[in-house]
Amino acid sequence: MLAKTHPWTPVCQADDIVPDTGVCARVEDRHVAVFRIGTEGFFAIDNIDPQSGASVLARGLVGSLGGRTVVASPLYKQHFDLATGECLEAPAQSVRTYPVRVDGGRVLVARA
């Protein structure tokens, strides 16, 4: 059986995201936080903070913690690994990650 491929959703132009910040986008029925991290590239995770249920992770502070690139939730300050979605303080509150690519200067996100 062939694996189902997921269509790519255009989110914005790559230059629309200021380095080391994020934006929120709608990918199908999900709120997705898309981050542009310096020379590391682009990452996408769920935008919904699992503790509060608010769509806010794209507004969190980006940084490094223990060698991992993370975003800190603006509400409860939990740290989410942008590569894996793992919540460093409470792994049970981890979030989903999404494939991201840049094509012709446009950021595209696929539903995982």
**Domain residue limits, the chain:** 8-110
Confidence of residue 5 (pLDDT cuts 50, 70, 90): low
d(CA 27, CA 25): 6
**Of 25, 20, 23, 21, nearest to 9 (Cα)?**
25
Q: What is the pTM of this model?
A: 0.92
d(CA 72, CA 102): 24
Q: How many residues are recorded in the chain?
A: 112
Q: Which CATH number applies to 8-110: 3.40.50.300, 1.10.10.60, 2.102.10.10, 3.40.640.10?
A: 2.102.10.10
Convert the pLDDT of each residue in 46-86 to its tens digit.
999 999 999 999 999 999 999 999 999 999 999 999 999 99
**Of 110, 43, 48, nearest to 82 (Cα)?**
43
Other CB atoms within a 10 A radius of the CB of residue 25 amount to: 20
Confidence of residue 4 (pLDDT cuts 50, 70, 90): low
